[in-house]
Structure 1
Amino acid sequence: MAVLLELRGIVGRAVDPDDQASRVAALDGTLRGLLARFDDARYAPAARALFGLPPAEPGLNLTARRELAARVAGHEAHHFRKRVEPQLVGKLADELLADADRFTRSPMIAPRLAPVRTRQPVPADPFAWEVAEHEEQLTRMWSAIYAARAELLCIERLISLQADRQSVVRVAVTAAWRWASARAEAIGYLAAFAPDVAASADELVAMAGWTPALTPAQASLLTEAASGGASREAFVAALHGETGLGAVWVDGFLARTAPNPLIEENGKAS
């Protein structure tokens, strides 16, 4: 446990990095997120049960969780504990390390906010104006990145729910607008306030989540359509007729990848 609490991704998410309880809460949230996205459909319920998440009921001890995990995975309990459980735990450990690596490599970190109890007026001073404008633009950029992330998460949720194509396409268009808006904000912020930062707009907007691969020309086309605070309607109108670009974006989400089972070999469970 102590080693996990030192991971960069856990420290970075903790409300108070110096408080162990805060780090434990951050670890719990991170594990829940990783288990929710466990990419092996057969063993995902077993992995969640093993760590006390549904289908496990609250309060089950480790022995009961192991028995439940073995049952939902279709294995005998002893075989599960000896052969399957170590691989599930190892896979989750790899995901935690990858998460920590992503935090370490992040080009920028979103600013932390604290409650403000009193008004903080900006003095009539050029330096104060510059600092306030910097914070304003930085906040706009991160707001746009988080807005894009919300839509990208919505797409993946709808696809998982096997929603109809029209519903997915509608959200995908919104995601394209949000993503392009975030990219435009990142370009503007870097040019005006952080020209020496060793990060590109594409690296910053990538923190919103996965998107279909675009050529530089396609990314620029989307960004131009969303620049200047364009509304979703204006964005769609600007791209009217760009059916090829729309297909690349939408079909990129809808394309199904081949399953990558954790413990399958030649079509048989080990």
Structure 2
Amino acid sequence: MPRKSPVEDEVVAAVARLLRRGLPVTPATADAALLDLRGIVARAADPADEASRTAALDGTLRGLLARFPDTRYASAARALFGLPPAEPGQNLTVRRNVAAEQAGHESHHFRKRVEPKLIEKIAWELLADAERFTRSALIAPRLAPAVGRQPIQADPFAWEVAEHEEQLSRLWSAIYAARAELLAVERLISLQADRMDILRTAVTAAWRWAAARAEAISYTTAFASDLESSADELVALAGWTPALTAAQASRLTEAAVGGASREQFVAALHDETGLGNAWTHGFLARPTSPENTPDEQNGQLS
């Protein structure tokens, strides 16, 4: 195994210290090595406020544990940090016992052999998250309560600035709307929901994703032609999507341009059975839902 860097060692040690009390993270248990990670700072409503970064760290850890990549030890990792199947208020010894049971190991073996690896995995996931934020050219703008009306001066420069903020807000609104629907699809698949419910939600996700891509193209063309990130890299922030060819991605985008409604989007793609299959079957064929095998029905976007 490659030697860890000092930063990695520091983050691993910080996660281990956090484990003593588990979640929720509090200012007393939060470590600067974690609070200063780029992904945590970027998510904080007020990056300069330690309490705000503490809340961001707590939310990030909960999301990480909810999507823990090792399915065998996912429940054990959650229990170790005080999330279900553990119960609130349980001390570390009790949580370790619950985690060991979930992992199918004897408690001593779990604490000595498995727990350190889970801590390292969580630390590396936090570092990878920070790296993704470091590489991202754009971060969603933070909002603060308005203390009063802020009229725009009748000046070309002021109009340009306002238009840029308007387009940036539209871009992130579309990206977050797409993310919400992509998460909804994954949640329904995980719940083994009715196939038609999954398909309808997947189509809504396609519409939202295509609208986000259209906004990303519009924004980068007008305001960020020299930006390192392309429109596709920006819309990728919404989350995982089935693999599409460039032509298929363009066709979806065309159907969503101009603020098209879901009904208009579906009507524009009514005869695109192959495209519909590529999108919907891409979700149903994922390993997270092996019992959902795609068939050749419902290939249309509807």
- Give TM-score scaled by structure 2 length: 0.83
Per mean C-alpha deviation after superposition, the further-off stretch among 220-229 and 125-134 is: 125-134
Give the counterpart of 2:201 among 162, 171, 174: 171
Equivalent pairs counted in the alignment come to: 259
Query: Mapping of 1:170-249 within 5 angstroms?
Result: 170-249=200-279
Does residue 22 (structure 1) correspond to residue 52 (structure 2)? The answer is yes
Following TM superposition, by how much is the alpha carbon of 1:258 offset from its aligned partner in structure 2, in angstroms? 7.8
Query: Mapping of 1:47-58 within 5 angstroms?
Result: 47-58=77-88
Give the counterpart of 2:159 among 129, 132, 152: 129
Is there any run of 5+ residues in structure 1 with no aligned partner, and where? Answer: 260-270
Q: Aligned pair in 2 of structure 1 residues 258, 158: CA closer, same or farther (>3 Å)?
A: closer
Is the 8 Å Cα contact of residues 136 and 229 (structure 2) preserved in structure 1?
Answer: no
Following TM superposition, by how much is the alpha carbon of 1:18 offset from its aligned partner in structure 2, in angstroms? 2.3
Counterpart of 2:38?
8
Classify the secondary structure of the residue corresponding to 1:229: coil
Classify the secondary structure of the residue corresponding to 2:248: helix
**Runs of 4 or more off by more than 6 Å in structure 1?**
none
Is there any run of 5+ residues in structure 2 with no aligned partner, and where? Answer: 1-30, 290-302
Counterpart of 2:76?
46
Following TM superposition, by how much is the alpha carbon of 1:69 offset from its aligned partner in structure 2, in angstroms? 0.8
Following TM superposition, by how much is the alpha carbon of 1:257 offset from its aligned partner in structure 2, in angstroms? 2.3
Give the counterpart of 1:67 among 85, 90, 97: 97
Is the 8 Å Cα contact of residues 70 and 76 (structure 1) preserved in structure 2?
Answer: yes
C-alpha separation between the residues in 2 aligned to 1:38 and 1:193?
37
Per mean C-alpha deviation after superposition, the further-off stretch among 101-110 and 174-183 is: 101-110
- How large is the Cα RMSD of the aligned pairs? 1.4
Following TM superposition, by how much is the alpha carbon of 1:15 offset from its aligned partner in structure 2, in angstroms? 2.1
Classify the secondary structure of the residue corresponding to 2:286: coil
C-alpha separation between the residues in 2 aligned to 1:68 and 1:258?
25
Counterpart of 2:147?
117
Question: Per-residue displacement from partner, 1:111-144 (whole Å, max 9, x unpaired)?
Answer: 1111112111112222211111111111111100
Whose RCO is larger (CA < 8 A, sep 6+)? Answer: 1
Q: Aligned pair in 2 of structure 1 residues 185, 256: CA closer, same or farther (>3 Å)?
A: closer
Question: Per-residue displacement from partner, 1:184-205 (whole Å, max 9, x unpaired)?
Answer: 0111111112212121100000
- Give TM-score scaled by structure 1 length: 0.92
C-alpha separation between the residues in 2 aligned to 1:236 and 1:205?
20
Counterpart of 2:169?
139
Per mean C-alpha deviation after superposition, the further-off stretch among 14-23 and 225-234 is: 14-23
Is the 8 Å Cα contact of residues 49 and 66 (structure 1) preserved in structure 2?
Answer: yes
Percent identical residues: 76
Counterpart of 2:26?
none
